[in-house]
Amino acid sequence: MTEPTAPTQPTSAMPPVAPAFAEAVAGAVADALADVDPADLLPEQKARVLIEALPWLEQFRGALFVVKYGGNAMVDDELKRAFAEDMVFLRLVGLHPVVVHGGGPQISTMLGRLGIESEFRGGLRVTTPESMDVVRMVLVGQVSRELVGLINAHGPFAVGMSGEDGGLLRARRRTATVDGRQVDVGHVGDVVEVDPRAVKDLLDAGRIPVVSTVAPDIDDATQVLNVNADTAAAALAVALGARKLIILTDVEGLYTRWPDRSSLARRIRVSALAELLPTLESGMVPKMEACLRAVRGGVPQAHVVDGRQAHSVLTEVFTSKGVGTMVLPDDLRTGAVPVVRPAVDGGAR
């Protein structure tokens, strides 16, 4: 589900593909192409699905992808392990994945345990100074550490960091709109500045950065803000010059007339998406806004894929049909205007 673009070369040497991960991609591709158990495939059938991946392995070797990890994929143990395998596979075949994560369910659970009430206004979690401490603790100390551990079970690849580290992200407080009025939601912000140098250093060292979405307040450096992981992933993808932004969600993709399942869009241009945004279900709005911002900011492709399906990232990247919904620019020849101001010249890898 990919339109060809010129391949780029990796900046560091990559080890050969491990057999176990070749099996993983064969299984993922088989799941996408046929309703069979990959274990039942004959050797020649496994070879065929691997060969289908060859053009994409060649095209994307050295490419940088930003992957937003969320939804059911971060609460189901089997899906967690499958996602970690996907990231290691991408790294082993010569790609440069960068993971950005939130942690809404885990934050709600911890707040409940501590007896701190969760309140939402206009779809945003009201984040008091007390709950901000919990948000920071859960994202950096729980979600990030668990994912880094799952990835590093396959080798010393992942390094956790937050938007505070290396001046990666800076954000500005935002409000929510409720019944046409602007209301305060506390320590919640939007990313307004990205300095990708710390992430680039990790990529050049062959690591997989895992980014937690908390960021200093650009107007008061003593304060830390909770930022939406979808929009943070888009901002980082733009600043890094990523080839793809991939967002995991809990549906198959973008439905243009939800709940009509026949309205699943496989591809959509940014102008059509912009017109559709006001009609979308609230849960899909930040994800599709993130895709819109990324592509308008120069990222060639953005995708929303079903994180409930194991290895959905591999299936999107390494099959011709792909999965989910792909967002494309209106004119592939027209340059896009960045929507987030880089703190330094981010460039492209």
The tens digit of pLDDT for each residue in 278-291 reads 999 888 999 999 99
Please, are residues 83 and 76 in contact by the beta-carbon 8 Å criterion?
A: no
In a 13 Å sphere around the CA of 311, the CA atoms on its Cβ side amount to: 21
What pLDDT score was predicted for residue 178? 84
User: Which domains are present in the chain?
Assistant: 58-328 (3.40.1160.10)
What pLDDT score was predicted for residue 22? 52
Higher pLDDT, 335 or 125: 125
Which residues carry a binding-site annotation for substrate? 103-104, 125, 226
Q: In what order do the strands lie in the sheet with 301-306?
A: 158-162, 208-212, 96-101, 64-69, 244-249, 301-306, 325-328, 267-269
What pLDDT score was predicted for residue 15? 43
pLDDT-wise least confident of 112-126, 229-243, 265-279 = 112-126
CA distances for 179 relative to 123, 176, 182, 183, 278, angstroms: 12, 10, 9, 10, 15
pLDDT-wise least confident of 27-36, 285-294, 312-321 = 27-36
pLDDT tens digits, 203-228: 999 999 999 999 999 999 999 999 99
Higher pLDDT, 108 or 44: 108
Compute the distance between CA of residue 247 and CA of residue 306 in angstroms, rounded to an integer.
Answer: 9
Q: Is the pLDDT of residue 174 over 60?
A: yes
Based on its alpha-carbon atoms, the radius of gyration of the chain, rounded to whole angstroms, reads: 19
Which residues carry a binding-site annotation? 103-104, 125, 226
What pLDDT score was predicted for residue 50? 82
pTM listed for this prediction: 0.85
User: By C-alpha distance, which of 243, 240, 255 is closest to 324?
Assistant: 255
Q: Is the pLDDT of residue 180 over 90?
A: no
Higher pLDDT, 33 or 87: 87
pLDDT band at 344 (very low <50, low <70, confident <90, very high): very low
What pLDDT score was predicted for residue 246? 99
Compute the distance between CA of residue 156 and CA of residue 207 in angstroms, rounded to an integer.
Answer: 8
Average pLDDT of the chain, as a whole number: 87
pLDDT band at 312 (very low <50, low <70, confident <90, very high): very high
Classify the C-alpha dihedral 95-246-2-269 as positive or negative.
negative
Query: What is the mean pLDDT of the segment spanning 146-154?
Result: 98
Query: What is the mean pLDDT of the segment spanning 90-116?
Result: 96
